[in-house]
Structure 1
């Protein structure tokens, strides 16, 4: 209709948390990835939501609120969806503060604030386009609408001793989920009012909307829109995605060789080993990681290490070969793939590889994001035959097994 204007809808994705319960349940440490960046079916958890949001025709902009320490992890997860993403913003001390930071970022968009906003937790990777449609439709008749699931279990109220005190009527009870959608100005102003009143205790945006008197419509969701909180949740999500995705298995191989030169150490499979010579090459000449990089690139049909990192490019002179391997890993993940296992065989007379094998396995596993039990490291001599047998060089062979989603998936 002439003169009509399109209603715009933006999204705030809250991804600033630390995921301590997942780490605690897996025996992880503070250096482990926060749960929103843990790999799920080969991709960071955050990527699953961003994929759905970026493809939805009604979504005009997405801003991710992240922890300041997570810049590299965010870039890894968000790179394929940059078209609809605006610059990420730093989160606050609470989820509520993080949401307000995201809302303020949308307020400052060059084209002005959106008409509506969906607020979604990054730890819910099973967001669907249908649920987004239902929430947006509900906002035509209500200033607020949230995804929610009717409570199916019988509920008990406990006394101070942990005994049942009463059975709770569940007929009108719902479990709140995200996304939670609102008319933009109304929820932004509600968040500002709560901040001014020093109220930081609201557990979700719908509770804050209730506080200021905004009606909120319940939109039926399902148990598949689960929030990942514990390691068991991560395992269940992996099984769900594995059952829903058709995978094809790819195998790639790689080979590399470098001659020796004057020096006092060699780099092999990411480990610095004292030696009578060094390996001669444009980078650190790590034949193990070079061969493995080519194996991964071969599995996804994306050229070789020289194509991605030309030796004529001075920026790679003396570079650590783990950079090359990490790039190949990123390319696998951008295709939605996952690395099943890798195997490296080093061909040399010296140095002895056996004492360094555990460190090599751990280093490669860390770069690939898989367990050390999925990394094979072997070594063999050439029985003093040929240039390797004469100690004039070291070579490596590698293979990599990768699973990629089929085109239908």
Structure 2
């Protein structure tokens, strides 16, 4: 309760700060603060004003612009939505991490996205919108991150009871859960035809297991074919682990396995094809990240969390994924997330914690928990740590591993902790 109270206090302090900003003139706009119609931002030298206005002859249309503060009549020098006027007084402006200004209508739909380079090209170098410093950015990000995590797990706690009830009902009526469906074996000729003989144009990715190809079955069903690299001993181990494990796991937030193919020295797994590929191709791309508004990012967090709850608590097996990261979160046509790549997954017996006897650490740098890296301890906490990194990266749009800062050599998580400490 102490942690929850602290998180809620941070949230309400930030909310009250935003409310206070609405009744006074300020010359700064903080990230994610809604700048509403009726508010104004005044430049530091008090010469320019940013706000919403209507031309004298068009009182029903609203525009976002910059005008001289002390010149009468109103002299506008820059207009953001000149060709897209707003029809009411309920619009709002929001500043994002990368300096973009998003103009939203009453329903929070994006009307216009003004990029930093467009603002600078207007020659309005006398008008400045800036962050107070990096600390305020990190503080707001951490408060938002903490609030999201509290919301996610509060919601999941309620959902778990319903999932367990349905699980028990299925077990009572059928004698077992539907977690071990028959895995279909595909003919090698069918897979070769579906992937155009594994053409390079159909290659959509590659990992420790081997390359992944897009294919189309005779029925028109699109599939993703993971083909084992012939010289990969690691891939052979992961193939056996993934094939035996994921066939027994069925959840809407886990990638679906259609079957496999074994022919001489060829080993392949056939999965559902997800058209939007992986989360990392959105959050780390300056253009595509605009397609992920905060509502969709929040839904992605919820979906991944549901998948983890199933793996850790609600399935017949107690599974630790061990390699949860943005590139292993696939997105379907509706941007619903599905956890993929179970090659490194481990099955826990009851509540027990495993220790790796080989001391060999498998996973991705930046996502592995300290107790696993240092002592080889495997528990569900490993995935929870990775999930926290995933949320931090999705909110900030920056990678944890490979994060660069001129003043230190810490990663993104270390930088946040250092700033907050």
Scaled to the shorter chain, the TM-score interval is: under 0.3
Between structures 1 and 2, the one with greater strand share: 1
Q: Give the alignment's TM-score, normalised by structure 1.
A: 0.22
With CA pairs under 8 Å and 6+ residues apart, which has the higher RCO, 1 or 2?
1
